[in-house]
Chains A and B, each alone.
Chain A
Amino acid sequence: MYRNLRWRLLLTLAVMTVALALVLPSVPGIHKTALGKILPDTAINLGLDLKGGIHLTLGVDVDKAIDNNMASMGQDIKASAREENLAVLKPTALPGPRLEAVLVGADKQDAFEKLLQKQFPNLKIDAKEAQPEDRVKYLLSMTPDYKKYLAKLTLDQAVKTIRNRIDQFGVAEPDIRRQEGNRIQVQLPGLQDPERAIAVIGKTAHLEFKIVDDSVDPASLAQGLVGPGRELSTIVVRGPKGQTVEQPIVLKKDAVMTGEYITDARATIEQNNNQFSVSLTFNARGAKVFERVTEENIKKRLAIVLDGKCYSAPVIQDKIAGGKAQITGNFSQEEARDLAIVLRAGALPAPVSVLEQRTVGPTLGQESIDAGIMATGFAAIAIVLFMAVYYGAAGLFADFVLLLNIVLTLAGLAAFGATLTLPGIAGIILTIAMAVDANVLIYERIREELRHGLKPADAVHKGYDRATLTILDSNTTNVLVAIILYQFGTGPIRGFAVTLVLGIVMSMFTAIFVSRIMFDLYLSRRPADAPVSI
């Protein structure tokens, strides 16, 4: 009857030891004690809703990146065609993305198409149309495979850049991952200022240097007539009294240089006015380009444009060698520091937008932890007392396995590296009820069997056997639901699903296996027909 009791007992003790070793490291302050030195490093992860921090879902504008790629491919086609003595006019990117280009000389179609096939295998010709003056208009589009590849590349690059920026921003254990639908999920534990975090993460940081065209007269400027190859932008200038005014400025459309050559960017303080600016260092190639650009444009103004906004446009006094430049603007120290981070980490391949943001302050997180512990404590005490009163000795067995169940669930969280969230704590509280349910099922069955006149030992035996199948059956639906929740839920809800599944699985072990051992121990020490306390 009580065979293997010793082995079952040993197994239980082993499981308990492992569980305690997994759970104890999560007790605050334990690492300072003597016990802390021998414990493993498996503290339970707390979710952002308990720890405090920022959760962001970012949408990456992949279409924009693809459009940009198409536009630059248009320029490349023009350049390659020139090398082959072909004249291609006005390559224009159209939405879709498609590319329109006009070839001069209808007899050169073969040569042009061969060039496309050889050097631009990712483009296909959708249509061509003869035009007057012996010209042919081509309509090109990207192959779907290439589009897919570009989308993946853009997302990978965006994740990499964002990770870079966050690392430099100084966040412990950030979590950055790609999601379906061109989204990136970013979790920043411990951070409190979402505004600043978004400013650092979400800035495209597309830096361009453009030459200012001061020849446009104010009258046509007022009408917005800036001439071909020019664009109208605004620049923030400081008036004599320190006030800032936005002024229109005309720039040559094609950038003479971009931020791709930056190797370093730092916030520096300007000596004369205590304003902060960002100093840039270019790599060797960038230094050469910068030197040439400044040499060719002496006495002209060079505009520094970040994400379409002109920050400053100093006059080039002389050619600048050495590969250094400076962005001045009305920056505060924090702004300058963040801008330096962003420029150092490189530009995002496409604009990103914040689709979802959840910030939990540290006070609310701590409040939730305290409230969760309180609620769990009260629920456990109420149930422990009830079971002891209602079922007597058997109730005490149930109480023991109930506490064991909580420890095992927490140990499971630590072992799997799962995250404990506030709904997760709710899940633990629910499992307390479900774990007790298993014992209630067994005990009610034993009571029934006793009423049918069975001897205590037989009643216990039969009660456990009969109830086991029922417990398996009824818990299956709970596990099914929890799996669905895990599949479709977001972070906190997933935490709930995880604790629910762990708790249910552990309760099968504790209620069916462990409490049975206690019953067997109890019964083996008393005469066979002595009444049991149940």
Chain B
Amino acid sequence: MSFHFIKPDTKIDFIGLRFYAFALSALMIVIGLVSLGMKGGPRYGIDFAGGVIIQAKFEAPTKLDDLKKSLEATNLPGLVVQQMGQDKDNDFLIRTSTTDETSDAVQKTVTAALNKDFAGTKYAFKRIEMVGPKVGEDLRGKALEAMYYAILLIAIYISGRFEHRWMAAGLMAAGLFAGMTALQYINAPQIWLVFGALAITLVLCFVLKLNYALGAIAALIHDVMVTVGIFSIMNKEFDLTIIAALLTLIGFSLNDTIIVYDRIREIRGQRTDETLNQIINRSVNQTLSRTTLTSGLAFLSVLSLYIFGGQVIHDFALAMLIGIVVGTFSSIYVAAPVIATLTPPEDHGTPQTGAIKTAKAKA
């Protein structure tokens, strides 16, 4: 009497489809990178770039164009005026890239312009934010540092937990730490530190044959790159909350990945005559119902946040929505197939070799 979205006997050949999936992922990443390249990198919000934001609400109908015209006359650098919410809200976001002037000065300039051009219309500043260049730089550094530690901890956790190779995990951590120290020593810019950390982690995982960790990290790099790419295409700004969203979706996507890995580990533990590809297929299929349900429900709740949660949290919710879809895709099509692709053919096992191995073990 109960419902099923995914039929219990679903048998999709995920491993067989993996190259199509890889191609799709690669395409998404390339499109994102092209967008980033054309726009000269991600579009930073004031958290990272520094600047001033003033959110002003008018009590009478006000046109965006009028407001723009009025403020453009003030010659504030990097001025951007946007409408918030719907037309009837008369809510506007004024942003400048001013960093050498104080927020006071900007506020005064804006107030003067509004009082001159919108005399008689009442307005209030709902929000004023100013981030100085120094703080912006610090926050950028902190965000990158957070990303770096996330990669490190996750890599260690996955290799230790799933391959019972805490030694190898520790070795990788030490290697990563050494590599990072070396990069810092030569004063590499912070953005290269993160790329460096990623590269070192992937190489170390490969050399140490930590395939599960490699799969998980490949999946999360995939998630972040695709989400960042889509954000760039949509011309959205990156600020602290978006970094929080990226980290959260890393955790979320890993959650899915771990469920699949757990099942692979469980089935491999049982003595079966299946090849690795069959095991992975079976694991993904068996957990598919749970994966779609959980992701669907998470999508539903974040959708509620996106629709009702208000303007301040809007972009965070958007990043999470994209991330949940991408993360679910990557858990199924990236994390598990990477294991299949990386495991050398002789370890894949066929019904025959599996039997031989068992015999050898007995002997």
Complex contacts, B154 vs chain A, CB 8 Å: 477, 480-481
Instruction: Find residues 426-463 in chain A having any chain B CB closer than 8 Å to their own CB.
Output: 426, 429-430, 432-434, 436-437, 440-441, 444, 447-448, 451
Complex contact B259–A441 (CB within 8 A):
yes
B139: interface (CB < 8 Å): yes
Complex contact A470–B259 (CB within 8 A):
yes
Complex contact A473–B161 (CB within 8 A):
yes
Complex contacts, A368 vs chain B, CB 8 Å: 310, 312-313
Complex contact B305–A488 (CB within 8 A):
no
Chain B residue, CB-CB nearest to A387? B297
Cα distance A54–B250 in the bound complex, in angstroms: 32
Segment of B20-28, B29-37, B145-153, B346-354 engaged in the interface with chain A = B145-153
Complex contact B297–A375 (CB within 8 A):
no
Complex contact A430–B302 (CB within 8 A):
yes
A237: interface (CB < 8 Å): no
Complex contact A440–B132 (CB within 8 A):
no
Cα distance A191–B320 in the bound complex, in angstroms: 33
Complex contact B316–A372 (CB within 8 A):
no
Decide: A357 near B128, CB < 8 A? Known: A372-B309, A372-B310, A474-B259.
yes
Cα distance A198–B104 in the bound complex, in angstroms: 9
Chain A residue, CB-CB nearest to B298? A433
Segment of A97-105, A388-396, A407-415 engaged in the interface with chain B = A388-396
A533: interface (CB < 8 Å): yes
Complex contacts, B305 vs chain A, CB 8 Å: 375, 379, 426, 429
Complex contacts, A480 vs chain B, CB 8 Å: 150, 153-154, 157, 251
**Option from A360, A390, A451, A485 in Cβ contact (under 8 Å) with B3:** A390
Complex contacts, A355 vs chain B, CB 8 Å: 131-132, 134-135
Chain B residue, CB-CB nearest to A390? B3
Segment of B64-72, B185-193, B201-209, B286-294 engaged in the interface with chain A = B286-294
Cα distance A425–B304 in the bound complex, in angstroms: 12
Cα distance A360–B250 in the bound complex, in angstroms: 30
Segment of B165-173, B241-249, B271-279 engaged in the interface with chain A = B241-249
Chain A residue, CB-CB nearest to B288? A444
Complex contact A49–B312 (CB within 8 A):
yes
Chain A residue, CB-CB nearest to B139? A490
Chain B residue, CB-CB nearest to A496? B244
Complex contact B57–A429 (CB within 8 A):
no
Complex contacts, A359 vs chain B, CB 8 Å: 125, 127-129
Complex contact B55–A534 (CB within 8 A):
no
Complex contacts, B157 vs chain A, CB 8 Å: 476-477, 480
**Option from A195, A389, A482 in Cβ contact (under 8 Å) with B251:** A482
Cα distance A426–B248 in the bound complex, in angstroms: 11
Complex contacts, A356 vs chain B, CB 8 Å: 130-132, 135
B143: interface (CB < 8 Å): yes
Main secondary structure of the interface of A (DSSP, over half): helix
A386: interface (CB < 8 Å): yes
Cα distance A358–B129 in the bound complex, in angstroms: 4
Main secondary structure of the interface of B (DSSP, over half): helix
Minimum CB–CB distance for B207 against chain A, Å: 24
Complex contact B127–A364 (CB within 8 A):
yes
Complex contact A423–B316 (CB within 8 A):
yes
Decide: A367 near B293, CB < 8 A? Known: A437-B298, A474-B258.
no
Instruction: Find residues 337-377 in chain A having any chain B CB closer than 8 Å to their own CB.
Output: 353-361, 363-364, 367-368, 370-372, 374-376
Minimum CB–CB distance for B243 against chain A, Å: 8
Q: Among the interface residues B104, B150, B161, B313, which one has the most CB atoms of the partner chain A within 10 A?
A: B313
Q: Number of B interface residues, CB 8 Å?
A: 70
Minimum CB–CB distance for A422 against chain B, Å: 6
A57: interface (CB < 8 Å): yes
Minimum CB–CB distance for A467 against chain B, Å: 9
Complex contacts, B138 vs chain A, CB 8 Å: 181
**Option from A470, A477, A487 in Cβ contact (under 8 Å) with B262:** A470
Give the interface size bracket for A toward B. 35 or more
Complex contacts, A422 vs chain B, CB 8 Å: 310, 312-313
Complex contacts, A436 vs chain B, CB 8 Å: 294, 297
Decide: A473 near B262, CB < 8 A? Known: A364-B312, A423-B313, A480-B157.
yes
Cα distance A496–B244 in the bound complex, in angstroms: 8
Complex contact B126–A485 (CB within 8 A):
no
**Option from B125, B130, B240, B300 in Cβ contact (under 8 Å) with A382:** B300
Chain B residue, CB-CB nearest to A476? B157
B254: interface (CB < 8 Å): yes
Complex contacts, A363 vs chain B, CB 8 Å: 57, 124, 126
Complex contacts, A374 vs chain B, CB 8 Å: 308-309
A194: interface (CB < 8 Å): yes
Cα distance A492–B307 in the bound complex, in angstroms: 20
Q: Among the interface residues B108, B129, B157, which one has the most CB atoms of the partner chain A within 10 A?
A: B129
Complex contact B132–A477 (CB within 8 A):
no
B109: interface (CB < 8 Å): no
Decide: A478 near B307, CB < 8 A? Known: A484-B149, A493-B244.
no
Instruction: Find residues 291-350 in chain B having any chain A CB closer than 8 Å to their own CB.
Output: 293-294, 297-298, 300-302, 304-305, 307-310, 312-313, 316-317, 320
**Option from B103, B130, B251, B307 in Cβ contact (under 8 Å) with A375:** B307
Complex contact B313–A440 (CB within 8 A):
no
A310: interface (CB < 8 Å): no
Decide: A433 near B302, CB < 8 A? Known: A361-B126, A423-B313.
yes
Complex contacts, B313 vs chain A, CB 8 Å: 368, 371-372, 422-423, 425-426
A184: interface (CB < 8 Å): no
B83: interface (CB < 8 Å): no
A383: interface (CB < 8 Å): yes
B357: interface (CB < 8 Å): no
Q: Among the interface residues B2, B258, B307, B320, which one has the most CB atoms of the partner chain A within 10 A?
A: B2
Complex contacts, B262 vs chain A, CB 8 Å: 469-470, 473-474
A259: interface (CB < 8 Å): no
One digit per residue, 1 when the CB lies within 8 angstroms of any chain A CB and 0 when it does not, for chain B 49-75 equals 000000101000000000000000000
Minimum CB–CB distance for B155 against chain A, Å: 11
- Nearest 3 A/B pairs, CB to CB: A371-B310, A481-B251, A379-B301
* 25 sample A-B contacts, Cβ–Cβ < 8 Å, listed by A number: A57-B135, A195-B104, A198-B104, A358-B130, A359-B129, A367-B310, A371-B308, A375-B304, A375-B305, A382-B300, A426-B313, A437-B297, A444-B290, A473-B258, A476-B161, A477-B154, A477-B157, A478-B254, A480-B157, A482-B251, A484-B153, A484-B247, A487-B146, A489-B244, A492-B240
**Extra 9 A-B pairs, beta carbons < 8 Å, given A375-B309, A379-B305, A533-B1:** A358-B129, A390-B2, A429-B301, A430-B298, A447-B2, A474-B259, A480-B153, A485-B244, A533-B2
